[in-house]
């Protein structure tokens, strides 16, 4: 434990130092938010990857979905790599860098205003970003605090406050400069930690072949069994029939959602979602020029392949190391595994799926590996949180306060306000995480569904289709909000991923229809926006 504490303290000191270095390089808002649009391929790729994957995937998503879907969860990792990373960079990076530079915009709300010639779109987009990225940030804090609680014997609240203070200091000081310097270090830690984690889990299960066999067998064993009808005596059957006659009919139960629908919705939500998330799109704004894109695609694809596959594969292995109801001893090539007992579904205490991976680390890996993986998830979370806080605070400081063409004094004060808003966003996220209103998957699904649903269609069509209109943007954003809100009202948490996916896909159909039914934008404006994007 002493070595773990020393490693974490050293990491904290390094992050604060990088914040100080970034602060010295930050002279204006463009420096704070985009590092002067001067990032090379390695920094751009690692910045994208470390923002994409955080404590959410290693703690909440991997354990929860690996337990639920078994090896089928690897479809999510394939989607994250090839749709959420490779194809996203190939399709979006060049156009985004060229058009945002041409329109002189730094944020998604500024892009909406400038591309669609509608000043009201900017405050609307800014409010959506600031409000709905808070639950996503809270999910990261929640996952990280659970990991600290399990592996450092710290209370959940202490771990939560510690992470909040560290994030605030590191980001408020240096902005995007400190993020970029740290991302290379954090990304390297993530790769090393992920490879070591999967190696030790496979080794504990008796090797790769044995691990895969045990996973298949025990996944089938853990599937819920259909209830068996109890035999009744004739007298009991007669009494039961009479009771049915006088009893009021129960309301019809909602039909269960097929497992493949839930899995497909999660693939779409976590893979197509980054195409419309402001904190991911920002990475394209900041690249130096189009010449670095091919190399960045290769680097970020390899990074995503390692991180996504390891996280979800380890999540699928939870069936080997846990047993619902009572303890089991499993024979492996390396000895035996004494499984960790999980309560049966519906009995107290409720199964905490967010704690599966942290518990595996605590019980089935050497302490030295736990330290490395702790730094892995800490690194991933720091980068993700930094991106979220930076984008969300910019929504107010840049898009609502500074405004286009503001004088120099207002621009300087906007930088101060942005730093203050970083702190406000962190505090709001901590309040949600502390109360643990939902499991991590639900928090993240709500946030991604709303934000990606509101921006994916307007952003994508805005880059490639000249006929898009402001009216179509408004209708698409309202549709995405309604689908999420109404879906949550009707189905509750059980359908957050399905509603989130629907909120992204529906506007892709709605947007072109409304655009064709409404007057086009002035030709000279559209030609200007597309001049350097063809």
Per-residue DSSP letters for 422-455?
Answer: HHHHHHHHHHHHHHT-S-HHHHHHHHHHHHHHHH
State the Cα–Cα distance between residues 182 and 50, nearest whole angstrom. Answer: 10
Model confidence band, residue 348 (pLDDT cutoffs 50, 70, 90)? very low
List, in sequence order, the alpha helices (H) in 317-366: 318-321, 356-364
Provide CB contacts within 8 A for 522, sequence distance 6+. Answer: 117
Q: What percent of the chain has pLDDT over 90?
A: 23
Task: Flag whether 322 is in a domain.
Answer: yes
Q: Between these two residues, 327 and 473, which has the higher pLDDT value?
A: 473
Q: Give the helix/strand (H/E) hosting 336.
A: strand 335-338
Within 8 A by CB and 6+ apart from 117, the residues are 470, 521, 522, 525
Range 243-251 average pLDDT: 49
Hey, is 340 helix, strand or coil? strand
Q: What pLDDT, on a 0 to 100 scale, did the predictor assign at position 346? A: 45
Within-domain flag for 159:
yes
Q: What is the pLDDT of residue 110?
A: 87
Residue 363 has pLDDT above 90, yes or no: no
Q: Is the pLDDT of residue 335 over 70?
A: yes
Q: Which residues contact 275 (CB under 8 A, 6 or more apart)?
A: 84, 88, 91, 92, 281, 452, 456, 459, 460
Q: What is the pLDDT of residue 246?
A: 47
| Residue 183 resides in a domain | yes
d(CA 368, CA 58): 18
pLDDT band at 533 (very low <50, low <70, confident <90, very high): very low
Lowest average pLDDT, out of 169-183, 382-396, 450-464, 495-509, goes to 169-183
Please classify residue 156 by burial: count the beta carbons closer than 10 Å to its beta carbon, then call 0-12 exposed, 13-18 middle and 19+ buried: middle
Does the pLDDT value for residue 27 go beyond 50? yes
> Torsion angle, CA of 485/489/490/491, rounded to 10 degrees?
90
Beta bridge partners of 322: 340
Does residue 479 sit within a domain? Answer: no
The yes-or-no verdict on residue 521 having pLDDT over 80 is yes
Residue 71: give the domain boundaries: 2-222+261-436
The answer on pLDDT for 89 being more than 80 is yes
pLDDT at position 461: 96
pLDDT at position 356, please? 81
At 189 the pLDDT is: 79
Question: Is residue 275 a part of any domain in this protein?
Answer: yes
- Segment 6-33 shows an average pLDDT of 67
The torsion of the CA quartet 315, 317, 321, 324, rounded to 10 degrees, works out to 70
Burial zone of 172 (CB within 10 Å; 0-12 exposed, 13-18 middle, 19+ buried) = buried
Give 342's strand partners.
Answer: 324
> Out of 48-62, 222-236, 257-271, 368-382, which region has the weakest mean confidence (pLDDT)?
222-236
Task: Quote the mean pLDDT of the chain.
Answer: 77
Q: Total domain count for the chain?
A: 1
**512 falls in which pLDDT band (50, 70, 90)?**
very high
pLDDT of 92 above 90:
yes
**Per the structure block, which two tokens stand in for 131?**
């409000």
36 vs 299: which has the higher pLDDT: 299
- Is residue 521 in some structural domain? no
pLDDT tens-digit series, residues 121-134: 988 888 888 788 77
Q: How confident is the model at residue 202 (pLDDT cuts 50, 70, 90)?
A: very high
Kind plus residue range of the DSSP H or E element containing 208 = helix 208-221
Assess if residue 417 is contained within a domain. yes
Report the pLDDT value the prediction gives residue 471, as an integer from 0 to 100: 96
Question: 485 lies in a domain?
Answer: no
Q: In sequence order, which residues have a C-beta less than 8 Å from that of residue 102 and are 6 or more positions away? A: 528, 529, 531, 532, 533
Beta pairing, strands 322-324 & 340-342: parallel
Range of weakest confidence among 53-67, 94-108, 306-320, 462-476: 53-67
- Decide the pairing of beta strands 329-332 and 335-338: antiparallel
Instruction: Tell which residue, 281, 257, 237, has the closest CA to residue 96.
Output: 281
In this predicted structure, the answer to whether residue 105 has a pLDDT above a threshold of 60 is yes
The CATH number of the domain where 38 resides is what? 1.20.1730.10
Mean pLDDT throughout 136-145? 73
Three-class secondary structure of residue 257 per DSSP: coil
Alpha-carbon distance of 220 to 237, in angstroms, equals 34
Whether the pLDDT of residue 357 is over 70: the answer is: yes
pLDDT at 405 over 60: no
């Amino acid at each position: 434990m002493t070595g773990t504490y020393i490693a974490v303290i050293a990491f904290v000191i390094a992050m604060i130092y990088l914040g100080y270095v970034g602060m010295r390089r930050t002279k204006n808002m463009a420096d704070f938010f985009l590092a002067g649009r001067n990032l090379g391929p390695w920094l751009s790729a690692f910045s994208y990857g470390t923002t994409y994957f955080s404590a959410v995937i290693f703690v909440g998503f991997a354990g929860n979905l690996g337990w639920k879907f078994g090896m089928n969860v690897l479809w999510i990792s394939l989607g994250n790599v090839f749709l959420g990373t490779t194809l996203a960079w190939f399709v979006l990076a060049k156009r985004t860098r060229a058009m945002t530079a041409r329109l002189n915009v730094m944020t998604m709300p500024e892009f909406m205003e400038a591309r669609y010639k509608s000043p009201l779109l900017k405050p609307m987009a800014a409010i959506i970003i600031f409000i709905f990225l808070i639950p996503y940030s809270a999910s990261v804090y929640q996952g990280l605090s659970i990991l600290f609680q399990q592996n450092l014997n710290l209370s959940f609240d202490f771990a939560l406050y510690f992470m909040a203070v560290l994030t605030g200091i590191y980001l408020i000081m240096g902005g995007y400069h400190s993020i970029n310097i740290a991302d290379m270090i954090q990304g390297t830690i993530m790769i090393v930690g992920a490879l070591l984690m999967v190696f030790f889990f496979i080794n504990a299960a008796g090797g790769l072949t044995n691990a895969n066999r045990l996973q298949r067998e025990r996944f089938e064993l853990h599937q819920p069994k259909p209830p068996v009808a109890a035999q009744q005596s004739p007298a009991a059957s007669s009494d039961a029939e009479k009771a049915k006659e006088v009893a009021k009919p129960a309301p019809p139960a909602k039909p269960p959602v097929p497992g493949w629908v839930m899995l497909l919705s999660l693939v779409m939500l976590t893979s197509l979602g980054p195409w419309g998330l402001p904190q991911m799109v920002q990475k394209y704004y900041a690249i130096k020029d189009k010449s670095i894109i091919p190399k960045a695609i290769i680097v970020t694809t390899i990074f995503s392949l390692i991180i996504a596959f390891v996280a979800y594969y380890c999540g699928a292995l939870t069936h080997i190391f846990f047993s619902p109801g009572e303890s089991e001893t499993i024979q492996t090539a390396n000895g035996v595994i004494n499984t960790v007992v999980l309560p049966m579904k519906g009995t107290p205490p409720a199964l905490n799926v967010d704690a599966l991976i942290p518990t595996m680390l605590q019980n089935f890996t050497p302490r030295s590996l736990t330290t490395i993986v702790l730094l892995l998830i800490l690194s991933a979370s720091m980068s993700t949180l930094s991106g979220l806080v930076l984008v969300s605070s910019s929504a107010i400081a840049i898009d609502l306060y500074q405004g286009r063409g503001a004088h120099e004094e207002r621009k300087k004060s906007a930088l101060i306000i942005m730093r203050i808003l970083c702190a406000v966003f962190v505090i709001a996220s901590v309040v949600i995480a502390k109360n643990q209103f939902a499991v991590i998957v639900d928090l993240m699904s709500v946030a991604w569904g709303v934000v990606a649903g509101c921006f994916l269609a307007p952003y994508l069509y805005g880059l490639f289709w000249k006929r898009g209109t402001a009216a179509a943007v408004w209708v698409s954003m309202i549709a995405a909000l309604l689908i999420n809100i109404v879906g949550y009202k009707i189905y509750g948490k059980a359908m957050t991923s399905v509603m989130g996916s629907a909120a992204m896909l529906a506007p892709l159909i709605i947007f072109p229809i409304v655009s064709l039914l409404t007057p086009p934008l002035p030709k000279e404006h559209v030609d200007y926006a597309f001049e350097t994007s063809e």
